[in-house]
């Protein structure tokens, strides 16, 4: 049997404590007394005989302030009892246990001229509503010797909540007798009772931060954050958005990145901003559910001192089953479903979904490859799995739901295969990748090369060789290129000056701009006959094909300021009585041999020249993004410095003994 005298002493002690906590958090005037404590003080001048808890109201919750209050309470050794969310996912109530007394904070939402709050009983949810003016103006009241705030017009307020509040009713029911109730109904509300020994949502300075890389899907981000706040309302969140016109957010730590920064660089940026020991990696199209147990991920990663612990990702409840081991065999990389070892709480794996908790310091050391804007997933784990301790818990799940997206977004995502292939096969020196789903991904040298040949066959515009008829090459193949009027002749002279190396500038046969396999094969044969380097502007359309098919091929592209290239072109083609326009099919041209070596445009010379230069520079950057270590883009001025010449020699693999450095302006030839 309850000794109410002792119980009321504890309640009065708890009232003093909660008053002090509110003062520390500068929230005393933002919280008002409600429920039985207010009723008893107004009607009886003391606590109601059988009142067992303390009810407080808080208007339109300020999350940051509530976090601060929460920290103060937890740091003083008390516990969260429970948190409630209505069926719309709004956070509505939090209760603490202070000296064995339950303190309940009810969030009051302003809805026009009304204020709403929620109460719960078993499977029932009850929404309460009163006029907002009743709680907008507050005044101090002393309750059990402690000052709190209460509604100024407490008479009307209590009447709206209790009806005839002046007459004690022994069996009064808040689910049936409350006039403010708009109805009692079964609802799919959420009740979260946190563990007492571990809880990431109970402290502002919790040891984990959620990070989200967003791109052109604000509706997904809204959906994800709403689901997160339903289950982990106090979890810190950092978002980096590289959309074209991103929408700033105020409900989290938000950063705008340059357009199309990419997944890898974006995630590296996010991790650099994390100040907690751990972080939670999320995609923007994820949705938290009741099975998204981040607490358990944290428990396991800390208990077993792992670097990454991932969970399962589901599409409409069906597992995507992307976790397992990585092996090299038969000249390829196999990502196989399964695990290395099954432990008590997790499975030891070598790759998991992009839904995981990770140790921040480890991932700051082992980063994503910045050049992979998309297609980064398995590439990351293949590169770093030997350096990371990785676990997987299949029972922990998050929902993945892709929304309908526009053509531009699909196009950006569609780059994944090309970006992944170029980086992956070059980086790991393999011929294919086998996914956990049994799909075999071939390198460009098998798929893209055959596609180019097939297109050429269909157009019947040239005689081409079959893929297997490509000449073999065992010597180094240096392909020099540039827009023209940019220093390609000087580059050729620099390379050709080295002992035992032969380089040609615009060697014949000239490659046409339109891909021609026959001419390319004839060109390749020259490398087997002693040629080391060939420098010509029309190598650009062939660079990606050559890099994909020949591991001994490298590309050097010389660049020059467009403002200098344009007048140099005009002087060359249209100066001294000459007139040529390589960018049209018809008209006078004093250099007919070069007509096939340039793209054609249906515009005037000036516009065509500028379009050509811009395209050239953009395309070589795209190729470099895929073949990062085998493509060099260098400014023309580097030809005039020993340091610049050294970088070129290092790139093409010429040892110091065979090098010849030039101390004069080597690129003077290209300006003539």
Asked if 4-192 and 460-671 have one fold, the answer is no
Helix (H), strand (E) at residue 172: none
- CATH code at 4-192: 3.30.460.10
pLDDT digits (tens, 9 = 90+) for 241-287: 999 999 899 888 999 999 999 999 999 999 999 999 999 999 999 99
Residue 472 has pLDDT above 70, yes or no: no
Looking at per-residue confidence, does 107 or 90 come out higher? 107
Query: What's the predicted TM-score (pTM) here?
Result: 0.49
pLDDT digits (tens, 9 = 90+) for 337-390: 999 999 999 999 999 999 999 999 999 999 999 988 888 999 999 999 999 999
pLDDT digits (tens, 9 = 90+) for 603-659: 888 888 999 999 999 889 988 887 888 999 999 999 999 999 999 999 999 999 999
What distances in angstroms separate CA 15 from CA 54, 79, 98, 648, one per listed residue?
Answer: 8, 16, 9, 76
For the stretch 540-567, what's the b/e string if a residue is b when 16 or more beta carbons lie within 10 angstroms of its beta carbon?
bbbbbbbbbbbeebbbbbbbbeeeebbe
Counting beta carbons within 10 angstroms of the beta carbon of residue 586, is it exposed (0 to 12), middle (13 to 18) or buried (19 or more)?
A: exposed
Residue 352's contacts (CB-CB under 8 Å, 6 or more residues apart) are: 308, 310, 311, 322, 323, 381, 390, 391, 392
HSE toward the beta carbon, residue 250, CA cutoff 13 A: 2
Give the residue among 305, 335, 314, 333 at the shortest CA–CA distance from 323: 335
The predicted model gives 203-219 an average pLDDT of 83
Residue 169 has pLDDT above 80, yes or no: no
Contact 486, 636 (CB under 8 A): yes
Q: Can you name the residues that pair with 310 across neighbouring β-strands?
A: 356, 392
Counting beta carbons within 10 angstroms of the beta carbon of residue 99, is it exposed (0 to 12), middle (13 to 18) or buried (19 or more)?
A: middle
Helix (H), strand (E) at residue 97: strand 91-98
Looking at per-residue confidence, does 234 or 389 come out higher? 389
CA–CA distance, 464 with 461 (Å, rounded to integer): 9
Residue 418 has pLDDT above 70, yes or no: no
HEC profile of 276-341? CCEEEEEECCEECCCCCCHHHHHHHHHHCCCCEEEEEEEECCEECCCCEEEEEECCEEEEEECCCE
CA–CA distance, 664 with 670 (Å, rounded to integer): 14
Tokens of 595: 């007509």
Looking at per-residue confidence, does 192 or 514 come out higher? 514
Residue 195 has pLDDT above 60, yes or no: no
Counting beta carbons within 10 angstroms of the beta carbon of residue 428, is it exposed (0 to 12), middle (13 to 18) or buried (19 or more)?
A: middle
Which segment of 49-53, 97-101, 558-562 scores lowest on mean pLDDT?
49-53
- Going along 536-653, which residue ranges are E strands? 553-559, 631-635
Give the residue among 428, 326, 314 at the shortest CA–CA distance from 337: 326
CA–CA distance, 559 with 329 (Å, rounded to integer): 41
| Backbone φ and ψ of 344, nearest 5° | -60, -40
- DSSP-assigned letter for residue 637: G
Helix (H), strand (E) at residue 163: none
Give the whole-number percent of the chain exceeding pLDDT 90: 44
CA–CA distance, 325 with 338 (Å, rounded to integer): 7
- Confidence (pLDDT) at 33: 92
Residue 529 has pLDDT above 60, yes or no: yes
| Backbone φ and ψ of 622, nearest 5° | -65, -40
By three-state DSSP, how is residue 47 classified?
Answer: coil
CA–CA distance, 659 with 108 (Å, rounded to integer): 78
- Confidence (pLDDT) at 453: 43
Mean pLDDT, the chain, whole residue set: 84
Residue 189 has pLDDT above 70, yes or no: no
Instruction: Show me where the domains of the chain are located.
Output: 4-192, 200-413, 460-671
Counting beta carbons within 10 angstroms of the beta carbon of residue 243, is it exposed (0 to 12), middle (13 to 18) or buried (19 or more)?
A: middle
Within 10 angstroms of residue 269's Cβ, the number of other Cβ atoms is 18
- DSSP H helical ranges for 124-250: 133-136, 154-162, 218-231
Which segment of 225-239, 252-266, 444-458, 483-497 scores lowest on mean pLDDT?
444-458
Residue 202 has pLDDT above 70, yes or no: no
Contact 664, 642 (CB under 8 A): no
Size (the chain), residues: 672
Tokens of 14: 């708890």
Residue 473 has pLDDT above 70, yes or no: no
- Confidence (pLDDT) at 589: 67
Strand 31-34 to 79-85 pairing: unpaired
Contact 284, 213 (CB under 8 A): yes
CA–CA distance, 144 with 19 (Å, rounded to integer): 11
* Contacts of range 445-454, beta carbons closer than 8 Å, 24 or more positions apart: 445/548, 445/549, 448/544, 448/545, 448/548, 449/545, 449/548, 449/549, 452/515, 452/517, 452/545, 453/517
279-293, 432-446, 465-479 — most confident range:
279-293
Give the residue among 285, 298, 104 at the shortest CA–CA distance from 199: 298
- Confidence (pLDDT) at 332: 86
Give the residue among 532, 536, 554, 537 at the shortest CA–CA distance from 647: 554
Give the largest CA-CA distance in the chain: 114
| Backbone φ and ψ of 553, nearest 5° | -95, 140
C-alpha 598 chain-centroid distance = 40
The predicted model gives 510-538 an average pLDDT of 87
- DSSP H helical ranges for 398-462: 407-413, 416-428, 447-459
Domain 460-671 has CATH 3.40.50: yes
- Confidence (pLDDT) at 378: 93
- Confidence (pLDDT) at 443: 61
Q: Which value, in Å, is the radius of gyration of the alpha carbons in the chain?
A: 35
168 — pLDDT class (breaks 50, 70, 90): confident
- DSSP H helical ranges for 44-152: 63-75, 133-136
- DSSP-assigned letter for residue 68: H
By three-state DSSP, how is residue 501 classified?
Answer: coil
63-67, 276-280, 576-580 — most confident range:
276-280
665 — pLDDT class (breaks 50, 70, 90): low
- Confidence (pLDDT) at 620: 92
Residue 601 has pLDDT above 90, yes or no: no
Question: What is the fold of 200-413?
Answer: Spore Coat Polysaccharide Biosynthesis Protein SpsA; Chain A (3.90.550)
pLDDT digits (tens, 9 = 90+) for 119-165: 887 667 788 889 989 988 999 998 888 899 999 999 999 998 888 88
């Amino acid at each position: 049997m309850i000794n109410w005298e002792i119980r009321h002493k504890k309640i009065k002690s708890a009232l003093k404590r909660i008053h002090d906590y509110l003062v520390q958090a500068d929230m005393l005037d933002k919280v008002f007394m409600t429920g039985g404590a207010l009723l008893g003080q107004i009607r009886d001048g003391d606590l109601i005989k059988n009142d067992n808890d303390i009810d407080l109201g808080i208007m339109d919750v300020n999350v940051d302030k509530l976090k601060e209050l929460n920290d103060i309470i937890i740091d003083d050794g008390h516990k969260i009892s429970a948190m409630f969310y209505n069926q719309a996912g709004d956070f509505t109530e939090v209760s603490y246990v202070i000296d064995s007394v339950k303190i309940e904070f009810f969030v009051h939402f302003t809805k026009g001229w009304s204020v709403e709050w929620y109460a719960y009983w078993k499977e029932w949810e009850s929404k309460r509503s009163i006029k907002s003016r009743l709680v907008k103006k507050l005044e101090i009241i002393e309750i059990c010797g402690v000052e709190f705030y209460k509604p100024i017009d407490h008479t009307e307020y209590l009447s709206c909540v209790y009806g005839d509040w002046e007459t004690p009713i022994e069996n009064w029911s808040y689910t049936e007798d409350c006039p403010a109730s708009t109805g009692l109904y079964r609802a799919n509300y959420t009740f979260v009772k946190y563990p007492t020994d571990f809880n990431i949502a109970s402290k502002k300075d919790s040891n984990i931060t959620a990070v989200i890389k967003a791109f052109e899907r604000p509706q997904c981000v809204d959906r994800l954050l709403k689901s997160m706040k339903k289950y982990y309302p106090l979890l810190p969140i950092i978002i980096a958005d590289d959309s074209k016109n991103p929408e700033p957010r105020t409900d989290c730590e938000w950063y705008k990145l340059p357009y199309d920064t990419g997944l890898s660089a974006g995630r590296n940026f996010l991790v650099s901003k994390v100040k907690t020991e751990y972080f939670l990696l999320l995609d923007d199209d994820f949705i938290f559910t009741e099975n998204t147990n981040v607490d358990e991920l944290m428990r396991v990663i800390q208990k077993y001192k792992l670097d990454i612990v991932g969970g399962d990702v589901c599409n409409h409840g069906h597992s995507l089953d992307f976790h397992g081991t990585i092996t090299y065999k038969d000249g390829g990389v196999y990502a196989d479903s399964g695990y290395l070892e099954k432990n008590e709480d997790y499975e030891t794996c070598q790759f998991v979904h992009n839904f995981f908790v990770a140790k921040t310091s480890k991932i700051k050391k082992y980063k994503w490859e910045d050049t992979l804007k998309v297609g980064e997933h398995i590439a990351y784990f293949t590169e770093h799995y030997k350096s990371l301790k990785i676990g997987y818990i299949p029972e922990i799940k998050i929902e993945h739901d892709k929304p309908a997206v526009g053509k531009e977004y699909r196009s950006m995502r569609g780059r994944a295969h090309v970006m992944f292939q170029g980086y992956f096969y070059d980086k790991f020196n393999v011929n294919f990748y086998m996914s956990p789903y049994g799909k075999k991904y071939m390198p460009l040298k098998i798929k893209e090369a055959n596609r180019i040949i097939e297109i050429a066959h269909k157009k019947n515009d040239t005689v081409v060789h079959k893929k297997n008829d490509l000449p073999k090459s065992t010597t180094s193949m240096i392909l020099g290129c540039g827009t023209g009027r940019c220093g390609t002749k000087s580059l050729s002279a620099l390379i050709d000056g080295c002992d035992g190396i032969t380089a040609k500038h615009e060697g014949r046969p000239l490659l046409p701009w339109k891909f021609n396999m026959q001419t390319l094969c004839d060109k390749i044969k020259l490398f087997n006959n002693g040629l080391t380097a060939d420098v010509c502007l029309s190598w650009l359309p062939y660079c990606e094909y050559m890099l994909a098919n020949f591991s001994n091929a490298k590309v050097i592209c010389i660049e020059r300021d467009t403002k200098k290239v344009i007048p140099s072109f005009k002087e060359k083609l249209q100066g001294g009585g000459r007139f040529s326009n390589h960018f049209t099919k018809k008209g006078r041209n004093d250099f007919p041999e070069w007509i096939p070596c340039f793209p054609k445009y249906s515009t005037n010379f000036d516009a065509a020249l500028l379009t050509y230069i811009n395209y050239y520079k953009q395309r070589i950057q795209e190729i470099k993004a895929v073949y990062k270590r085998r493509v060099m883009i260098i400014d023309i001025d580097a030809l005039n410095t020993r340091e610049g010449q050294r970088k070129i020699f290092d790139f093409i693999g010429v040892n110091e003994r065979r090098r010849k450095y030039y101390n004069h302006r080597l690129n003077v030839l290209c300006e003539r």
